Amino acid sequence: MTATQSIQPVLRSDYQPPTYWIENVELDFDLDPRETLVTSRISVRRNPEQSSSKLDLAGENLKFQSVAVDGKRLDETQYQLRDDGMTLLDLPESCVIETKVLVSPVTNKSLSGLYQTSGNYCTQCEAVGFRRITYFLDRPDVMTTYRVTIRGDKQSCPVMLSNGNRVSQRSLDDGRHEVVWEDPFPKPSYLFALVAGNLRCHRGTFTTRSGRDVALEIWVEPQNIDKCEHALVSLQKSMKWDEDVFGLEYDLDIYMIVAVNDFNMGAMENKGLNVFNSKYVLALPDTATDEDYMLIEAVIAHEYFHNWTGNRVTCRDWFQLTLKEGLTVFRDQQFTADQTSAAVKRIDDVSGLRAGQFVEDSGPMAHPIRPESYISMDNFYTATVYRKGAEIIRMYHTILGAEGFRRGMDLYFERHDNSAVTCDDFRAAMADANDVNFDLFDRWYSQAGTPELTVTEAWDAAKGEYTLTMTQSYPPLPGGNPGTVDRKPVPLPVRVGLLDAESGEEIEQHGGVVMLQSESESFTFGGLTAKPIASVLRGFSAPVRLRMQRSEAELAFIMAHDTDSFNRWDAGQTLATKLLIDAANVISEGGNLELSGQFRDAFGRVLHDDSVDEAFKALALTLPRESVLGQEMAVIDPDSLHTARQFYRQQLAESFQSELTALYNDQAADGAYKNDQQSINRRRLKNVVLAYLSALDTSESVSLVAGQFDQADNMTNKQAALSLLANLDVPAREEALAAFYKKYQSDPLVIDKWFAVQAVSSREDTIEQVKRLTTHPDFSVDNPNRVRSLIGAFTQNQVRFHQADGAGYKLLADYVLKIESANPQLAARLVAAFNSYRRFDESRQTQMQNELKRIAEHPGLCKDVHEIVQRALR
């Protein structure tokens, strides 16, 4: 492939239906580590809307063997081969095309297509990996049924799986055997999967509400067979929830999940045969934290929910990715909210959105949730498509209510089951089912950037009227990308409530959602006897940055009284952000710091509030992360921010030492590990409290943390203590790291944690430590989890990654260049850490820019990294 060929962007506006449709496909695999023979027979029929007799099939990294049409081998005048595919020049209206290719799973380190992981075979086809397996119409609007024959060695591949139902199995000569699978549901090629190897199965069942028994199978490497029960229970809960909430039943008689160690993403929803990063399957209390348990449940749910939102109804083209991802993320968020606490889940999700998506949406990669162009589709599995996409779906839900949303979903499935559709089709179903006009919502799909919502208030004492004026605008974005200019106002559902300024009570008649449909509008609330305190954007009802002038006293009031938990928490975060940025500015000007009395009091009230659950309290006591604080600074000053935040942590710990200690001891008195919600919440609070106590950095506090590390009977408490120790400069640190390594060295998921706690340490020698760890025998550039746990985690360490001498930047750039040719997707994700370079001071900007240029000039740079870097430098 020449450079210019590969860097042509694909445009949304260029969509064309295919010249042929595929009626069915038969795939044949003769498994071999270096030379797997793939034979495919596709029955095609000309698209009646097109008259061309030419057919382009995509193909990449394939060793071509032969092509035949209706049993006749073609000669070289009848087809053209390219590095990215093959054109069949003159096909009849319908025919069977048979191709034979060789692929090499063992040398495939990109983890796209057919590859080996821990000696087993596995595939990953989304978005465009199927073309690395065979020549095909590798595009999601081509849906067809698959019959798959797998032949492999009985010894090394006792288990051979594909989508759908196993229809036959037989022994062959030479120690090989053969299995045939048939998937009755038409699907696009990105949902194809094949897995083969030495795997064990953890089984369960689910009976659907119409009484069908579904076999549930979780396939893992033999040593992990005892770590699957949580995943299985999560799957059963997900299946039940989708029936209860959306009336959606599972459609095959078998649902399989396979856990693999080498995987670029979290998991993949292949029809009937999900492939998961083992991180989102395997769990025992001794090896997985409460957060891991929660993530496993959420990812299992997410992939399961895709069976309807993604598989039964799929995307017409990849620009529509948010059609399935935004919707499915929203569904998994609602599921988790129902299993745990809706308020806490919402806070966790919005913090994630602000920390990740807001940053993306204000930098060079800013794109609409439905992008207009891409060079590599893999670069558009983004926080924007997923998380902002989910926020857009949430707004339909907020506007229509749960019942109206359900009517829209029902109509969506009624209209589009078994087809490949667009975001417009989804919007139309929501509108038509409810007789609501969602035309303006189109702007949410075509505009990039986070809107700012400025709210001002006015009080007319004579009339007893309180008015909120809301104005929306878009901050400018680095130019050149579609969706970043000429942006128009978007429809914003803003949930508001008024609180009595004396009693703090909710003024019931005024709560609800107001719709801001234009640039600016005023909303007046009458019949009031005194000026109320407004609670605006409750539940974070729209994905915007809220700008509202608030006194510290008002924020403290909302923290104490709001009936909306999200805003209670958010008021605290707003107050803390304001104070911490002031403090950072004081530091950079060489002034003296002081803890705000206002904030100390507010913190104390939260600490003593017995009306909230422990998980909420844990969140309310947590200061905003450094990366979130940075976003609110004109020029990010990582050092001053870090010092300011440390100062606050230490001052709060000193001010409340006895209360914190008492709270810690109370939570610590729980006895042996349990994993019910209440115990999880209590551990969450306990570890937030321990983090404050550790900020005291006294010998007592160190032994408290070290004591928790030594005595912990579960990974949540152990890891929490280890990550605190990792920040310290005490002998207990090295002892704990060594003990942890020794105990868990055979468990890669736990060793990932060991790498990560060191990479996110705030110690001044962190860069040196990270460099040293890249030479550790357990570090591997081929394993994405390991690379993310060391290099990825390090880029999230704002104060150390952005060390003024640029050593962190160099480290990242070196690693990106080291892995880019083997695993372009992973390299592109890592390099995105440079995307915020314009937000830093000149010296840091220049250093980051220089690293970006060094990468850009690398000969033969893969197109994934090329796309990110050229957007950043533009």
Angular region, 163: left φ>0, alpha ψ -120 to 50, beta rest: beta
Q: Rank residues 268 and 750 by Cβ distance to ligand PHE and give the closer one.
A: 268
- The helix (run of H) or strand (run of E) holding residue 618 is helix 614-620
- Binding residues among 291-320 for ligand PHE as defined by CB under 6 A: 302-303
- Binds 315, which of Zn ion, ligand PHE, none (CB < 5 to 8 A, cut-off by type)? none
- Binds 267, which of ligand PHE, Zn ion, none (CB < 5 to 8 A, cut-off by type)? ligand PHE
313-315 and 113-117: which strand pairing?
unpaired
Taking residue 204's Cβ as centre, other Cβ atoms within 10 Å add up to 17
- Binds 381, which of Zn ion, ligand PHE, none (CB < 5 to 8 A, cut-off by type)? ligand PHE
For residue 46, give both structure tokens. 């000309």
Q: Rank residues 292 and 325 by Cβ distance to Zn ion and give the closer one.
A: 325
Q: Rank residues 350 and 826 by Cβ distance to ligand PHE and give the closer one.
A: 826
Q: Rank residues 386 and 755 by Cβ distance to ligand PHE and give the closer one.
A: 386
Q: What phi and psi values does residue 699 have, to the nearest 5 degrees?
A: -65, -35
**Smallest separation, CB 378 to ligand PHE (Å):** 7
For residue 177, give both structure tokens. 């055997």
- Binding residues among 254-273 for ligand PHE as defined by CB under 6 A: 265, 267-269
**Smallest separation, CB 239 to Zn ion (Å):** 17
Q: What phi and psi values does residue 66 have, to the nearest 5 degrees?
A: -165, 160
Closest CA to 564 of 504, 628, 493, 609: 504
Task: Convert 623-638 to b/e letters by CB count within 10 Å (16 or more is b).
Answer: bbebbbbbbbbeebbb
Instruction: Count the site residues for ligand PHE by CB under 6 A.
Output: 11
For residue 697, give both structure tokens. 């950095």
Closest CA to 688 of 781, 619, 753, 641: 619
For residue 375, give both structure tokens. 């060079």
Q: Rank residues 325 and 360 by Cβ distance to ligand PHE and give the closer one.
A: 325
Contact call for residues 631 and 359 (beta carbons, < 8 A)? yes
Q: What phi and psi values does residue 496 have, to the nearest 5 degrees?
A: -125, 160
**Smallest separation, CB 386 to Zn ion (Å):** 7
- Binding residues among 321-380 for Zn ion as defined by CB under 5 A: 325, 328
**Residue 228 binds ligand PHE, judged by CB under 6 A:** no
CA distance 32 to 530: 78
Strand order from edge to edge, sheet including 545-548: 520-525, 465-473, 452-460, 545-548
CA distance 143 to 186: 5
**Residue 130 binds ligand PHE, judged by CB under 6 A:** no
**Residue 325 binds ligand PHE, judged by CB under 6 A:** yes
Instruction: Count the site residues for Zn ion by CB under 5 A.
Output: 2
- Binds 747, which of Zn ion, ligand PHE, none (CB < 5 to 8 A, cut-off by type)? none
CA distance 356 to 101: 41
Residues 689, 691, 692, 694: is their CA dihedral positive or negative? Answer: positive
**Smallest separation, CB 295 to Zn ion (Å):** 14
Contact call for residues 507 and 498 (beta carbons, < 8 A)? yes
- Binds 349, which of ligand PHE, Zn ion, none (CB < 5 to 8 A, cut-off by type)? none
**Smallest separation, CB 257 to ligand PHE (Å):** 12
Query: Which residue do the tokens 């990582």 mark?
Result: 638
**Smallest separation, CB 500 to ligand PHE (Å):** 45
CA distance 825 to 615: 35
Per-residue x/- mask for Zn ion, residues 303 to 332, rule CB under 5 A?
Answer: ----------------------x--x----
SS3 572: helix
**Smallest separation, CB 196 to ligand PHE (Å):** 19
- Binding residues among 110-129 for ligand PHE as defined by CB under 6 A: 124, 126-127
Question: Can 303 be counted among the known catalytic residues?
Answer: yes
Strand order from edge to edge, sheet including 113-117: 113-117, 120-124, 194-197, 159-162
Q: Rank residues 384 and 481 by Cβ distance to Zn ion and give the closer one.
A: 384
Closest CA to 88 of 160, 176, 180, 18: 18
Q: Which residue is nearest to ligand PHE (CB)?
A: 265
Q: Rank residues 267 and 399 by Cβ distance to ligand PHE and give the closer one.
A: 267
**Smallest separation, CB 302 to ligand PHE (Å):** 6
**Smallest separation, CB 133 to ligand PHE (Å):** 14
Catalytic residue among 303, 391, 614, 851: 303
Closest CA to 359 of 387, 392, 396, 379: 387
Closest CA to 124 of 262, 329, 311, 25: 262
Q: Rank residues 55 and 828 by Cβ distance to ligand PHE and give the closer one.
A: 828
Q: Rank residues 56 and 378 by Cβ distance to Zn ion and give the closer one.
A: 378
Residues near 300 by beta carbon (within 8 Å), at least 6 away in sequence: 231, 234, 235, 238, 257, 267, 280, 281
**Smallest separation, CB 310 to ligand PHE (Å):** 7
Contact pick of 136, 255, 381, 647 for ligand PHE (by CB under 6 A)? 381
Q: Rank residues 301 and 615 by Cβ distance to Zn ion and give the closer one.
A: 301
Binding site for Zn ion (CB under 5 A): 325, 328
Binding site for ligand PHE (CB under 6 A): 124, 126-127, 265, 267-269, 302-303, 325, 381
Annotated catalytic residues are: 303
